[in-house]
């Protein structure tokens, strides 16, 4: 993935409490900043389709960080909160918080 691709999918902080994501304006309060929500089926898919170490395959989706998004658009399943009350220095480390919760049957 190129740097431009990463940048185009990033949450970019604007003035005050505002963020921009793929042309959408969001406020800080519309983002899940202190919780990690995932779709378990997406994680299973990541693990099942990797050529690398399974524990390195799952990744967080940007949509999972938007509080208004409650279901996975791919699997039509409710997102599951797997971590909360994170310290500020660790809140954006998806693997740190999610790895202990990977589906046990897939690793």
Q: Which residue ranges make up the site for Zn ion (CB under 5 A)? A: 39, 41-42, 72, 74-75
Cβ of residue 84: shortest distance to Zn ion, in angstroms?
20
| Measured distance CA(34)–CA(48) in Å, rounded | 28
Cβ of residue 58: shortest distance to Zn ion, in angstroms?
11
Of 41 and 67, which CB lies nearer to Zn ion in the complex structure?
41
Q: What is the CA radius of gyration of the chain?
A: 14
| Measured distance CA(53)–CA(88) in Å, rounded | 28
Cβ of residue 60: shortest distance to Zn ion, in angstroms?
12
Of 32 and 75, which CB lies nearer to Zn ion in the complex structure?
75
Of 43 and 91, which CB lies nearer to Zn ion in the complex structure?
43
Cβ of residue 98: shortest distance to Zn ion, in angstroms?
14
Output the six-digit token pair for 6: 């990463």
User: Which residues, 6+ apart, have CB-to-CB distance to 21 below 8 Å?
Assistant: 9, 10, 11, 12, 62, 66
Of 33 and 44, which CB lies nearer to Zn ion in the complex structure?
44
Give the Cβ contact number of residue 59 at 10 Å: 12
């Amino acid at each position: 993935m190129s740097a431009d691709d990463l940048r185009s999918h990033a949450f970019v902080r604007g003035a005050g409490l505002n963020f921009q994501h793929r042309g959408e304006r969001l406020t800080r309060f519309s983002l899940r900043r202190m919780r990690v929500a995932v779709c378990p089926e997406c994680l299973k898919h990541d693990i099942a389709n990797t050529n690398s170490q399974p524990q390195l395959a799952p990744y967080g989706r940007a949509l999972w960080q938007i509080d208004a998004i409650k279901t996975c658009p791919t699997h039509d399943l409710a997102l599951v909160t797997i971590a909360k009350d994170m310290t500020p220095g660790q809140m954006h480390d998806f693997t740190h918080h999610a790895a202990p919760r990977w589906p046990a049957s897939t690793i």
